[in-house]
Copies of this chain bind each other. A is one copy, B any other.
Amino acid sequence: MVARCPTLDEVFHPRGVAVVGVSQTGRGFAMGVLSSLITAGFSAIYPINPRYTEVMGLPCYPSLRAVPGPVDHVVVSIPAESVLSLLDDCAAKGVRSVHFFTAGFSESGLPERADMEQEMLRKARAGGFRILGPNCIGLFVPGSKLVNSAAVPIEPGPVAFISQSGGHASNLPVYGSPRGLRFSKVVSYGNGLDIDESELLEYFAQDPETEVIAAYIEGVRNGPRFIKSLRLAASRKPVVVYKGGTTDAGKRAAHGHTASLTTSIVAFEALCHQMNVIRVADIDEMVDAIVALRFARPAPQGAATVVMGAGGGPSVLASDELEKAGLQVPPLSKQVQTDLLRSLPLAGSILVNPIDAGNLASPDAIGATLQVVSRVPGVDMLLYHLGFHPISSWGGGRFASPAFLEPTTQVMNEVAAASGKPVLVVLRPPLDVDNMKDFVAAQAGFVKAGLPVFYSLAQAGRAMARVIAWQKRRTP
């Protein structure tokens, strides 16, 4: 008899969660998950360790079998040597899924450990449960309060992320949440012994909670199935892929990391192009691309950008960076420049595009400038930059104050809605504590207003160029 294989939807919505490998030191992966589940308010949590009767205020059970209620999901952080007998308990308890933090299997390069991994898979198939990992950080499903980190808001959102790397699986939400990204499910799947990238892509292609799919992939085991899954996902939703292991050294690292046989990067690039998958080069670019997809609204019709902000050097840089990234920074006519002089000073200003003027730091001047340039035919996007001069930009709380942020973001949204051209914001992060306070507040103000925030001109340019190219190639 073949046991029934639980669906991913069942895996993502467990009734009870057991955490195996808890301690009373307060440290380690298991304790991180335990405290995160408690913080998130998950209802049925069962710590497992025969040495304790209570951990973090919860009853602690000697074994999985001793848990009174139903356990659907098991989080495991115990040495590799103890894993097989635990899986027998999982089968007996009738769990749906087991997530292994535990590492040291096929990725170690040791044949006996690769064999053990295969034995784990056989036990899962026979026992009718799924395995996530091993060698991963598991699930972040805010809608189920099933979380592995307390560092990210548990408010759900429309972004799904699958990641072969546990580090990236925690970094993307941490980097993305201050910029407004919220997640439907984040799945770290490590060695991908059972649940793998293909099954996850198929799931997210049809998941009604997911509008954007992001994936960090080091290598795939079943090429044909992966291609089919990626095609399905990309035909339905924007898919952003960061492929790790693109150089020889990267491939070696990927193999040691998650036992991945990385595919030819040339073939992978061709595949992404053919399927209209958005390729990015690192996690920061992934955040940028998703921010562009989600918040650059209305979607730009083309790549012609008017840039504005204080600073001549940054304006020269802006032009170079944006054109190198594939956008255009077209010159403004004499008539438009004359119109701009109604609100901007002549001395010290550049008006041709980029527009650089010392007073482009006041809501009135920003608003007036946006009004003028948003009406210029052929312009597709409006970009405002701030924070390129660390001395004066953030200090004193000027740009962190509601007196700046509220009218500025309001006029940005009004101009975008009236003109059909999105307004992008580039804020350069400072590197000191005082300015960071103001940066965080300013960023929060722009993000709260639903505006796309980027951290550099080059990043904004690359992200928008990718999204514009993706849109042009979409089958309507």
A150: nearest chain-B partner, CB-CB: B391
A337 to B249, CA, bound (A): 16
**Partner-binding segment picked from A40-48, A68-76, A101-109, A413-421:** A101-109
Cβ–Cβ contact B356 & A257, under 8 A = yes
A255-291, CB < 8 A from B: 256-258, 281-283
Using Cβ atoms and an 8 Å threshold, which residues of chain B touch A80?
347
Cβ–Cβ contact B436 & A257, under 8 A = no
Q: A253-B350, A319-B249, A391-B174 are in contact. Are A313 and B168 (CB under 8 A)?
A: yes
| A186 close to chain B: CB less than 8 A | no
Using Cβ atoms and an 8 Å threshold, which residues of chain B touch A391?
149, 151, 170, 174
Cβ–Cβ contact B166 & A313, under 8 A = yes
| A311 close to chain B: CB less than 8 A | yes
User: What is the count of identical protomers in the complex?
Assistant: 2
A317 to B254, CA, bound (A): 9
Using Cβ atoms and an 8 Å threshold, which residues of chain B touch A439?
431
Q: A432-B440, A433-B440 are in contact. Are A256 and B350 (CB under 8 A)?
A: yes
| A196 close to chain B: CB less than 8 A | no
| A331 close to chain B: CB less than 8 A | yes
- Flag A320-357 by CB within 8 Å of B: 1 or 0 each: 11111000111100000000000000111011111010
Cβ–Cβ contact B249 & A353, under 8 A = yes
Cβ–Cβ contact A389 & B167, under 8 A = yes
| A388 close to chain B: CB less than 8 A | yes
Using Cβ atoms and an 8 Å threshold, which residues of chain B touch A436?
431-433, 436
Q: A244-B316, A314-B167 are in contact. Are A256 and B352 (CB under 8 A)?
A: yes
Candidates B282, B283, B388; contact of A167 at CB < 8 Å: B388
A170, A257, A390: most-surrounded residue (chain B CB, <10 A): A257
Cβ–Cβ contact B178 & A431, under 8 A = yes
A257 to B310, CA, bound (A): 12
Cβ–Cβ contact A165 & B244, under 8 A = no
Cβ–Cβ contact A257 & B315, under 8 A = yes
Using Cβ atoms and an 8 Å threshold, which residues of chain B touch A167?
311-314, 388-389
Using Cβ atoms and an 8 Å threshold, which residues of chain B touch A351?
256
Using Cβ atoms and an 8 Å threshold, which residues of chain B touch A165?
312-313, 316
A389 to chain B, nearest CB (A): 5
| A123 close to chain B: CB less than 8 A | no
A471 to B90, CA, bound (A): 61
A103, A331, A391, A440: most-surrounded residue (chain B CB, <10 A): A391
Q: A165-B316, A178-B432, A391-B170 are in contact. Are A331 and B244 (CB under 8 A)?
A: no
Candidates B104, B168, B171, B331; contact of A346 at CB < 8 Å: B104
Using Cβ atoms and an 8 Å threshold, which residues of chain B touch A330?
249
A464 to chain B, nearest CB (A): 15
Using Cβ atoms and an 8 Å threshold, which residues of chain B touch A102?
347
| A14 close to chain B: CB less than 8 A | no
Q: A103-B347, A135-B348, A440-B433 are in contact. Are A250 and B319 (CB under 8 A)?
A: yes
Using Cβ atoms and an 8 Å threshold, which residues of chain B touch A316?
165, 218, 244-245, 250, 253-254, 257
Using Cβ atoms and an 8 Å threshold, which residues of chain B touch A283?
313, 317
19 contacting pairs across A/B (C-beta < 8 A): A80-B347, A102-B347, A135-B348, A151-B391, A165-B316, A167-B314, A170-B391, A175-B431, A216-B313, A247-B320, A247-B324, A249-B328, A250-B320, A253-B312, A253-B354, A257-B315, A281-B320, A431-B439, A432-B436
A246-B324, A249-B328, A281-B320 known, 18 other contacts, Cβ within 8 Å: A151-B390, A167-B314, A167-B388, A167-B389, A171-B389, A178-B432, A244-B320, A245-B320, A247-B320, A249-B320, A250-B320, A250-B323, A251-B319, A253-B316, A258-B312, A432-B436, A433-B433, A433-B440
Q: Contact residues of A with B, CB < 8 Å?
A: 79-80, 102-104, 107-108, 135, 149, 151, 163, 165-168, 170-171, 174-175, 178, 216, 218, 244-254, 256-258, 281-283, 311-324, 328-331, 346-348, 350-354, 356, 388-391, 429, 431-433, 436-437, 439-440
The 9 A-B residue pairs with the shortest CB-CB distance, nearest first, are A104-B347, A165-B313, A249-B319, A249-B329, A256-B350, A167-B313, A247-B323, A250-B320, A257-B312
